[in-house]
Each structure stands twice: as structure tokens, then as C-alpha cells.
Amino acid sequence: MSAVEPEDCGDGEAARAHRILSVSNLTKTRQQGGISFELKVPALSLRAGELIAVVGESGCGKSTLLDLLALVSCPSSCDGFLFQTQGGAGGSDIAALWKAGRESTLARLRRQHLGYVLQTGGLLPFLTVRQNLELPLHIQGLQVDPIRLNELASRIGVADLMGKKPQFLSGGQRQRVAILRALVHSPTLVLADEPTAAVDRTRARRIVADFRSLAWDGGCTIVMVTHDQPLVDGVADRQFGFRLEQVSENLTRSICLEGEV
Ligand SMILES: Nc1ncnc2c1ncn2[C@@H]1O[C@H](COP(=O)(O)OP(=O)(O)OP(=O)(O)O)[C@@H](O)[C@H]1O
């Protein structure tokens, strides 16, 4: 059974209908040694509290898409790219920020409103679990609420590990801590790149279910990249996939479409 049970949604329903991000007609071109790769995203929108799976084979553009959503990669062109933080007044026009070279504004949006889970956890080895979890709060000058932190840690099954260093945790425990770390500062959007790649299937399914439940309760949206579609079937609210076209000898185009998996 999953360590986290979904809670009563209550007033959260209205908040969850809230659209946090929308992209239209985006293109990102990458070139290497005379070979070009073109990712096209005709339309993608994310709502608060959703778990979105991005599924596809190696090289189809999953990481390229994640980098765009993480605001670290600049679109080559796009008709619209809006980001609306939870409870924030007005949205941020990401396309305009890139165009104007407003790197510091993009960095602030990333720091305050995004969370990341990497394939191998990415925990700092010289810090304890508690210190790793407190780090995103310290970076933003936010107060640590130990009661909330302990409560979240219990819900995801890592409360007994708070004093340990990452090297003394199992792969699954490390990923649970990494997931919690991505959520502690209550981000609007969490981006997870193959977060269960290092654990077996049974653990992976539990982790995804717990991840989903924690994010749902907090009204946070998750975009999770995976090559493993059965893992997210029945758990993800929506799935995006890629249609690959060999346009010419030197150009591969990948079109990201909802339901194309
Ligand atoms: N820095 C780069 N410069 C140029 N081309 C790149 C660069 N990084 C990736 N590519 C190309 O972009 C395409 C998509 O790569 P991407 O890493 O997004 O795929 P992916 O679906 O995440 O793959 P994987 O599952 O193997 O991580 C590939 O054809 C790759 O060769």
C-alpha cells in the first residue's frame, strides 16, 4: 500500500482548475555536428494539481521539453508561453522575458516557483536528510516549520531517516527524500526527470503514487518524464508523447502531442 493517502479535496477543487502554464506553437532547434533536432510543441497547458506524464523513447526530446518548462532553455520561437504562479496576480510572459534577456527574473521564477527531482536524487552527500530538506527554504530566506516538515516526512515514509546522510539510505529512500525536497517550498510546478529510474518496479509505483498524492494535496503540478508508460498508466491525469519525423537526412523533427503515446 502507498504510504500517502489522498486527503479530502474540499475547497482545493477550484484552485486545481487554475491554469498555471500554457504554451502555443513553440519550436526549439538544437544542432550538433551539422545534424539538427527540432522539437515542436503545438499546444500544452498545465493546471494546478495535475500529474502530467511525458513519455517517449530515448532521443525524442523529453529532456529538451523539460528544460523549456524549467525556464532554463530559451525557445527558438513561440506564439505564447505564459506562467501563472499559484495565488499570483497576473502571469509571467516567459516568451517576452527570454526575448528581453531578463535572466534574473527567470532565475527568480525558477527559485521560487519550481522544484526538481533528478534521476539519481541529487541530494547533497555532506548534509543530513533534514538539512537537505531545509535547504530550499534557507535559499529563499523562508522559515523552516519543523512540524510541517516532520508531517510531510512521515507521509512519504522518511521521518525516521532525518538524521542520516544520503549514503546510508536505499535508492528508494533517497528518491523519496528528493521528491520531498522538491515540494517543501510549496512550488507551483515540479519537474521530475525519470524520478524512479534507480528503483525496482514495485517501489517505483508506490513512489509515483505518493508523489502524486502529496502534490495533489498541495495543489502543485508535476510534470514527470519517463520512458516507462505502464508506470504512469492510471496514475497520470494526462500523458504527452512525441511523433517523430525524419524531415531530411540532417533534420529530425519531434512533435509533442497530448495522447501521442
Ligand atoms: N546540447 C545539445 N546540442 C545539440 N543537440 C542536442 C543537445 N542535447 C540533445 N540534443 C539532441 O536533441 C535530441 C533530443 O534530446 P533529449 O535529450 O531531449 O532526448 P530525450 O528524449 O530526453 O532522451 P533520453 O531519454 O535519452 O534522455 C537528440 O537527438 C539529441 O541528440
Query: CA-to-CA distance for 125 and 34, rounded, in angstroms?
Result: 40
pTM: 0.87
> Which of 62, 66, 247, 252 to mutate for ligand 1's pocket (most ligand atoms within 8 Å of CB)?
62
Confidence of residue 15 (pLDDT cuts 50, 70, 90): low
Pocket of ligand 1 (CB under 6 A): 30-32, 37, 56, 58-64, 227
Nine-digit cell string for 155: 507521509
Contacts of 13 by beta carbon, 8 Å cutoff, 6+ apart: none
pLDDT tens figures, 166-186: 999 988 889 889 989 998 888
Ligand 1 centroid–CA 7 distance in Å is: 38
pLDDT at 80 over 70: yes
pLDDT at 258 over 60: yes
pLDDT at 109 over 50: yes
Confidence of residue 8 (pLDDT cuts 50, 70, 90): very low
Question: For position 171, what pLDDT does the model report?
Answer: 85
Backbone φ, ψ for residue 29 (5° rounding): -110, 135
Question: For position 203, what pLDDT does the model report?
Answer: 80
What domains can be seen in the chain, in order of their start residue?
14-258 (3.40.50.300)
Radius of gyration (C-alpha) of the chain in whole angstroms = 18
Query: CA-to-CA distance for 131 and 129, rounded, in angstroms?
Result: 5
Q: What is the 3-state secondary structure (H, E, C) of 189-212?
A: EEEEECCCCCCCHHHHHHHHHHHH
Confidence of residue 131 (pLDDT cuts 50, 70, 90): very high
Instruction: Report the share of the chain in percent with pLDDT over 70.
Output: 91
Query: CA-to-CA distance for 101 and 64, rounded, in angstroms?
Result: 20
Ligand 1 centroid–CA 68 distance in Å is: 13
Supply the mean pLDDT for the chain. Answer: 88
Confidence of residue 124 (pLDDT cuts 50, 70, 90): very high
pLDDT tens figures, 30-71: 998 889 999 999 999 999 999 999 999 889 999 999 999 999
pLDDT at 222 over 80: yes
